[in-house]
Amino acid sequence: MTAIAARPPASPARTALLLAAGIAAVALLLPVLAPHAPNAIDLAARRVGPSAAHWFGTDDLGRDVLSRVLHGARLSLFVGLASAVVTLVLGVGVGVASGWRGGWLDTLLMRATDALLSMPRLPLLMVAAAILEPGAVALAVLVGGTGWMETARVVRADVLALRERAFIDAVRASGAAEWRILVRHLVPNAAPTIAVAATLAVGRGILLESALSFFGVGVRPPAPSWGNMLYQAQQSMTTAPWVALTPGACIFATVFVINALGVRLARSGPEVRPA
């Protein structure tokens, strides 16, 4: 049966998986490199500029900025990655259901998608996060749960095109069960689209976590995340700018790499859909 089915180009899916594994590995390994404990307070060394002992200086409480950034990577990257997983599960689920089944289900799901797209996402998330005070997992669910609509749209478009293709008829004629067609043949062939959507979702998840934490409603202190380090750094912007510059540069660099990869994937795929 696999002989009939068009084998999906493996590279985008594999690249995305490699990316996810890479991020996870970095997040797990980085804290090991930290020269100090992330929450070790040293009131004698408050707001010390970059030096040999503290490469990126210290913050208001004398905590080592480098160590906090390295530890903060874990929470920021976790929220980014986990929110992307939520986005993908919902987006691919809705997209496939909508495109494969068609009819009233398609109309209903696409109307709902349109409606959700025109919600003020950031303010709603800020209100929800302020009130629900979510932990890292709940935060990822909130961020991912409000961002699946674009993914659903592009996946649906792919499914609409794929389901008319001969190989799907061939698989069906050979007696495959419906779920098997979906899981083994339809979704793998939408992999390039899904991979691009995944990279965008990871980047956006990291940015949203940092924005929420920046307003003090995301990851709660004292646990460091790149966003909440910026929140705490606001007060000492002029006296200790390194406290704000370092975590922001980390967010930027990480999201840039992920987005650049997404652009690459989009270009190598059969159909180019700019974000």
Partner 1 sequence: MLQAIPLLLVVSIVGFTLLHLVPGGPLDVYLGSPNVRPEDIARLRRAYGLDQSLPVQYGAWLVGFVRGDWGYSYTDGRPVLTRLLERVPATLELMVSALSIALVVAMVVSLWRATRPRGAGAVEALSVAGISLPVFWLGLVAQLVFAVALRWLPSSGRVTYDGAGLADRLRHLVLPALVLATVHVAAWTRYLGASLDGVLSAPWMRAARSRGVPRSLLMARHALRPALLPFVTVVLLDAALLVSGAVVTESVFAWPGLGGLFAEALARRDYALLMAFLMLTSTAIVSLNLMADVAYRWIDPRLRAT
Residue numbers at the binding site for partner 1 (CB under 8 A): 111, 114-115, 118-124, 126-128, 130-132, 203, 207, 210-211, 214-217, 230, 234, 237-238, 241, 244-245, 248, 251-252, 255-256, 258-260, 263, 272, 274-275
Q: Which CB atom, from 28 or from 108, has the smaller least distance to partner 1?
A: 108
The residue to which tokens 């293709």 are assigned: 165
Helix (H, G, I), strand (E, B) or coil at 58: strand
Q: Give the residue among 74, 12, 32 at the shortest CA–CA distance from 225.
A: 74
Q: Which CB atom, from 18 or from 127, has the smaller least distance to partner 1?
A: 127
Q: Which CB atom, from 120 or from 175, has the smaller least distance to partner 1?
A: 120
- Residue 142 Cβ, how far from partner 1 at the closest point, in Å? 11
- Residue 82 Cβ, how far from partner 1 at the closest point, in Å? 19
- Residue 128 Cβ, how far from partner 1 at the closest point, in Å? 6
How far is Cα 222 from Cα 59, in angstroms, rounded to an integer? Answer: 13
- Residue 260 Cβ, how far from partner 1 at the closest point, in Å? 5
- Residue 74 Cβ, how far from partner 1 at the closest point, in Å? 18
- Residue 175 Cβ, how far from partner 1 at the closest point, in Å? 42
Q: Which CB atom, from 175 or from 270, has the smaller least distance to partner 1?
A: 270
- Residue 63 Cβ, how far from partner 1 at the closest point, in Å? 19
Q: Which CB atom, from 114 or from 178, has the smaller least distance to partner 1?
A: 114
**Long-range contact pairs involving 117-124 (C-beta distance under 8 Å, separation at least 24):** 117/149, 117/150, 119/146, 121/146, 121/147, 122/208, 122/211
CA-CA-CA-CA dihedral for 86, 87, 92, 95, to nearest 10 = 130
Are 228 and 36 in contact, with CB atoms under 8 Å apart? no
- With 0-12 / 13-18 / 19 or more C-beta atoms within 10 angstroms meaning exposed / middle / buried, residue 45 is middle
**Residue 223's Cα: distance from chain center in Å?**
20
Q: Which CB atom, from 101 or from 111, has the smaller least distance to partner 1?
A: 111
Are 31 and 62 in contact, with CB atoms under 8 Å apart? no
Torsion sign (Cα): 95, 96, 99, 101: negative
How far is Cα 19 from Cα 49, in angstroms, rounded to an integer? Answer: 34
Q: Which CB atom, from 41 or from 116, has the smaller least distance to partner 1?
A: 116
